[in-house]
Structure 1
Amino acid sequence: MYVRGVTAHDFESVRDELGLPPAAQTDRFPDDVLAEAETIAATVPPEAEDATAIPFVTIDPPGARDLDQAMFLERVGAGFRVHYAIADLGSAIVPGGAVDAEARRRGQTIYLPDGRVPLHPPVLSEGTLSLLPDEVRSAALWTIDVDAAGGVGAASVRRARIRSVAQLDYEGAQAGFDAGAPHPSIEPLADLGRLRLDVRVGLGAIELALPEQEVMAEGDDWVVRMRRRTEVDGWNAEISLLTGMAAARLMLDAGIGLLRTLPPADDEAVRELLRTAATLGVPVADGTTAAEVLAGLDPDLPASIALMREATGLLRGAGYVAFDGTPPDQAGHAGIGAPYAHVTAPLRRLADRFGTEVCLAICAGDEVPAWVRSALPELGGIMRASDQRAATADRTCIDLAEVWELEGRVGTVFDAVVLRAGDDEGEVVVTMPPVIATCRGAGLPEGQHVRVRLDEVDEERRRVVFAHDEGHART
């Protein structure tokens, strides 16, 4: 969390609208929740398998304290073995207790530029339940075998005590790979990550490598900058996705669980995307799928950015489905390429604690605990509401920061790339500052560089609008 002194602007209006505590009180919880959290923090974890000899490492943003996952990867013959430790909340949080009830009310951690609103009290999420380096922690330990072709073999999870030997960040881990000297615990990550991505693309996964807008502190105010994912970001995500896919398979085979779902894109929408790709000059060979076209894009090219932005329209209708007995008719996740379940971020997302408990019971040959089974039907609604709140917080903070950075600059001309063209207006992304906004004007050349003039800055409506005409076209 970035702690600021005197600032020109703040995000308190966003917090007020979403019912979130002020930035100065982000760690505020009801007294009974804090009291129970202190008791949990002081409780000795139950006995479990000793896996502290495995040299786990974590990979997170710099300064992160709520560490959900730790990994150790090894090569086994021509394949791989993944050891993936997930913070064990199920053995610590009392079902029906004050911490549990408050977590169900919140749903997930909400991140804002001036601080997060945590799902659990920090004494737990950043303390005794976090997989911090050099600390023995209770974990749900996944072991997943992957063959030379990227296929998943045996996959199981059990409780264990683990110890992380290092806390890595994405840039540092990337630097290690770039120098040819990655941390030994993740040496296979590049090969495994690339392999698994290829497998998912073959399954039809819609994978978008769009840079992300990020609000950050600069001087005495907030600015918007574009964050490009490192390769390590993507490889690390593949390990989490692999685990979620293995969890979903366990649940479907056992006939009980909670899946994250996304229906397949409409056939006409896919055909339209491929037609747009051809219009933008993106090569589309006969028989090429949308997943393959998107996976082959160079995110540095304007046409690629425009096509990836349009492809977000294929990822609509995401939801959660709980089942106990008969598996759901729609179990897949089109963005991932297979059935998928949330199990890898329990410190920050409510559903993962329950999904993990389902998988632990299945692998142990036990009945799923009654407190888990009874919660499954309501978790989807809780997660949908908290997903919407988190997305609103993120988008609104970006909109505000865009307004603040551009106020007083109406009439200024900027370089931009056209993301979408319409009859009278479209959408552009400005190069610097990296603002995504409406652009007025007919004849916008989709996927091309243009010059646009800032036409409107409206802080009350949290929007900026640009204008374009032929005289501002950029060659």
Structure 2
Amino acid sequence: MPRRHLRVTGAAREPLGAVLRELRTKLDVPEEFPADVVAEAERVAAAPPWLPDRDETAVPFFTIDPPTSTDLDQAMHLSRRPGGGYRVRYAIADVAAYVTPGGALDAEAHRRVTTLYFPDEKVPLHPTVLSEGAASLLPDQTCPAVLWTIDLDADGRTETTDVVRALVRSRAKLDYAGVQKAIDDGTAEEPLALLKDIGLLRGQLEVERGGISLDVPEQEIVASDTAYELAYRAPLPADAWNAQISLLTGMAAADLMLAAGTGILRTLPAAPDGAVGRLRRTAKALHIEWPHHVPYSDLIRSLDPRVPHHAAFLQECTTLLRGAGYTAFRGGETPALATHAAVAAPYTHCTAPLRRLVDRYTSELCLAASAERGVPEWVLTALDELPKEMADGTRRANSVERECVDLVEAALLRHRVGEIFDAVVVDVKDHEQAVGTVQLTEPAVVARVEGGASALPLGERLRVRLAQADPGTAKVLFTPA
């Protein structure tokens, strides 16, 4: 089944609470923080072990996040350079200012690895007194940050990169819909309005280097006090522009570490010929023209996810993004695989340390590289084990995502077994053409279909009957009607 890009909005209570609690037990999800971890977090939140000397609180930073988010990792300020080009200031929460290597907080972060998102609650990487309090870049709160200053030329290409520790102060907590509206109606002030200009320039550079950003609608769990619903969320242009700033920083971080000879990269090998060949066969089945001289990256940019057979093909394209991992290196030796195939350049994770363990380490590696000094010993000690830790944590996060959607889908449809729905076939198994995946128009469900006498019509509309749906015991299953 194609991977689902999941967002959770709100926090419902019952009736799924018990089933979700069972799921957390099944997946061995850590919930309550040990007493010593809480005590350390409360102590350092009240008085951080150290704070940077540099003060950049005069810069009017802003954050862009979903409306309900309070674990704010990034704040930005964008400006024009006097001689032409742009300056990107990107402040990243400085978790290392609070977490002592080898302490209780550090050990617990290595156990958790990532923040996990459930419909009824969030299981954070760090205690909320830090992740949603002292260390979060909340508006009108002075915080320690790892401050990136990246100067771009008039075409959006990186000219210089500087990374330092500094105190920062966000002025505004913005959300994607509000940002999009302000930019579209011309009311955005220049530091925000430049998000579009820089985002579009960086998007064009992505095209030039052969990178890809799949515009696949996200499946969103929307929760109220009494019920769950599912919806499809088409990403806004502002999502893509904001993502380009994060991508820019991740590429700059990779370049810094590679130049210094020590670091950790987010890597993805090129898709094997067999996978691309399968995708070409899928394109043919979906009546999508793909001339041999047209690169894969150019083809997907020509597709409209609102068109059913285009959406089906875009879902299939996600299969080429499997196999991503983390690659650590040291001693000046460049790893054999140093690039991320979807980015089409070296890249790393460095912009979400409140929610992802590895980012705290990449911040330290980049600070050391930028200052041309040695890497802290606590970073070097952990470096070799980080790829495995992140792989394990990412697998658990993916399992949580899949299982949560399955449960909500089953709960949403449990009383509608036997009903007929309109759907589109978005995936067909290679060797079992009567088995695949359908995407319902309403409600926003993506589920397995099987039991027909003939091959499923990939990318075409299909009437399906709900055969089973029972949260906790049976995933949603359809049959051709």
Match of 2:445 among 411, 425, 435: 435
The amino acid that maps onto 1:456 is Q
In the TM superposition, residue 235 of structure 1 has moved relative to its aligned partner by: 1.0
**Could you tell me which residue of structure 1 aligns to residue 247 of structure 2?**
241
In the TM superposition, residue 461 of structure 1 has moved relative to its aligned partner by: 4.3
Asked if the contact 1:453/1:466 (under 8 Å) is kept, the reply is yes
Does the residue aligned with 2:329 lie in a helix, a strand or coil?
A: strand
Say whether residues 1:174 and 2:180 are aligned partners: yes
In the TM superposition, residue 197 of structure 1 has moved relative to its aligned partner by: 2.0
The amino acid that maps onto 2:475 is R
Say whether residues 1:18 and 2:22 are aligned partners: no
Match of 1:207 among 190, 206, 213: 213
- Counterpart CA distance in 2 for 1:371 and 1:421 is 48
Match of 1:38 among 38, 42, 48: 42
159-168 or 449-458: which moved more?
Answer: 449-458
1:1-60: CA deviation from partner (whole Å, max 9, x where unpaired):
845455365411211112235xxxx5x211111111122112254232111111100001
1:206-263: CA deviation from partner (whole Å, max 9, x where unpaired):
3211111122224622222222211111111111111011000111111100111110
**Could you tell me which residue of structure 1 aligns to residue 362 of structure 2?**
355
Any residues of structure 2 matched to 1:76-225 within 5 Å, and which? Answer: 76=81, 78-218=84-224, 220-225=226-231
The amino acid that maps onto 2:28 is G
Does the residue aligned with 2:355 lie in a helix, a strand or coil?
A: coil
**Could you tell me which residue of structure 2 aligns to residue 448 of structure 1?**
460
Question: Structure 2 regions of 5+ residues with no counterpart?
Answer: 1-8
365-374 or 271-280: which moved more?
Answer: 271-280
**Could you tell me which residue of structure 2 aligns to residue 419 of structure 1?**
426
314-323 or 147-156: which moved more?
Answer: 147-156
Change (3 A) 1:183 1:397: farther
Change (3 A) 1:37 1:223: same
Asked if the contact 1:170/1:232 (under 8 Å) is kept, the reply is yes
**Could you tell me which residue of structure 1 aligns to residue 413 of structure 2?**
406
67-76 or 175-184: which moved more?
Answer: 175-184
**Could you tell me which residue of structure 1 aligns to residue 33 of structure 2?**
29
C-alpha RMSD over aligned residues:
1.8
In the TM superposition, residue 278 of structure 1 has moved relative to its aligned partner by: 4.2
Match of 1:53 among 50, 58, 67: 58
Does the residue aligned with 2:385 lie in a helix, a strand or coil?
A: helix
Asked if the contact 1:244/1:344 (under 8 Å) is kept, the reply is yes
- Counterpart CA distance in 2 for 1:9 and 1:85 is 37
Does the residue aligned with 2:95 lie in a helix, a strand or coil?
A: coil
- Counterpart CA distance in 1 for 2:191 and 2:52 is 26
In the TM superposition, residue 185 of structure 1 has moved relative to its aligned partner by: 2.3
1:438-469: CA deviation from partner (whole Å, max 9, x where unpaired):
21222322112221111222444441111226
**Could you tell me which residue of structure 1 aligns to residue 325 of structure 2?**
319
Any residues of structure 2 matched to 1:337-348 within 5 Å, and which? Answer: 337-348=344-355
- Counterpart CA distance in 1 for 2:132 and 2:43 is 15
425-434 or 267-276: which moved more?
Answer: 267-276
Asked if the contact 1:62/1:169 (under 8 Å) is kept, the reply is yes
Asked if the contact 1:109/1:349 (under 8 Å) is kept, the reply is yes
The amino acid that maps onto 2:55 is D
Change (3 A) 1:462 1:188: farther
- Counterpart CA distance in 2 for 1:413 and 1:160 is 58
Does the residue aligned with 2:256 lie in a helix, a strand or coil?
A: helix
- Counterpart CA distance in 1 for 2:339 and 2:414 is 44
In the TM superposition, residue 192 of structure 1 has moved relative to its aligned partner by: 1.4
- Counterpart CA distance in 1 for 2:440 and 2:467 is 13
The amino acid that maps onto 2:274 is E
In the TM superposition, residue 403 of structure 1 has moved relative to its aligned partner by: 0.6
The amino acid that maps onto 1:329 is A
- Counterpart CA distance in 2 for 1:115 and 1:183 is 35
**Could you tell me which residue of structure 2 aligns to residue 473 of structure 1?**
none
In the TM superposition, residue 424 of structure 1 has moved relative to its aligned partner by: 1.9
- The alignment's TM-score, normalised by the length of structure 2, stands at 0.92
Does the residue aligned with 2:444 lie in a helix, a strand or coil?
A: coil
In the TM superposition, residue 308 of structure 1 has moved relative to its aligned partner by: 0.8
**Could you tell me which residue of structure 1 aligns to residue 480 of structure 2?**
468
In the TM superposition, residue 352 of structure 1 has moved relative to its aligned partner by: 0.3
Asked if the contact 1:9/1:221 (under 8 Å) is kept, the reply is no
1:307-359: CA deviation from partner (whole Å, max 9, x where unpaired):
11111111121111111111110011112221111110111111000100000
Say whether residues 1:308 and 2:349 are aligned partners: no
Does the residue aligned with 1:253 lie in a helix, a strand or coil?
A: helix
**Could you tell me which residue of structure 1 aligns to residue 4 of structure 2?**
none
Asked if the contact 1:402/1:435 (under 8 Å) is kept, the reply is yes
- Counterpart CA distance in 1 for 2:225 and 2:139 is 32
Asked if the contact 2:229/2:412 (under 8 Å) is kept, the reply is yes
Asked if the contact 1:137/1:162 (under 8 Å) is kept, the reply is yes
Question: Structure 1 regions of 5+ residues with no counterpart?
Answer: 470-475
Change (3 A) 1:281 1:312: same
Aligned length: 464
Does the residue aligned with 2:418 lie in a helix, a strand or coil?
A: coil
**Could you tell me which residue of structure 1 aligns to residue 259 of structure 2?**
253
- Counterpart CA distance in 1 for 2:204 and 2:420 is 41
1:349-374: CA deviation from partner (whole Å, max 9, x where unpaired):
11000100000011112100000111
- The alignment's TM-score, normalised by the length of structure 1, stands at 0.93
- Counterpart CA distance in 2 for 1:204 and 1:31 is 49
% same residue: 48
In the TM superposition, residue 404 of structure 1 has moved relative to its aligned partner by: 0.8
- Counterpart CA distance in 1 for 2:186 and 2:292 is 38
The amino acid that maps onto 1:7 is P
Change (3 A) 1:217 1:411: same
Asked if the contact 2:164/2:367 (under 8 Å) is kept, the reply is yes
Asked if the contact 1:201/1:207 (under 8 Å) is kept, the reply is no
In the TM superposition, residue 110 of structure 1 has moved relative to its aligned partner by: 0.7
Say whether residues 1:67 and 2:72 are aligned partners: yes
Change (3 A) 1:4 1:218: closer
Change (3 A) 1:89 1:421: closer
- Counterpart CA distance in 1 for 2:472 and 2:92 is 43
148-157 or 348-357: which moved more?
Answer: 148-157
Does the residue aligned with 2:200 lie in a helix, a strand or coil?
A: helix
- Counterpart CA distance in 2 for 1:360 and 1:52 is 20
Asked if the contact 1:202/1:292 (under 8 Å) is kept, the reply is no
The amino acid that maps onto 1:242 is L
40-49 or 323-332: which moved more?
Answer: 40-49
- Counterpart CA distance in 2 for 1:271 and 1:9 is 44
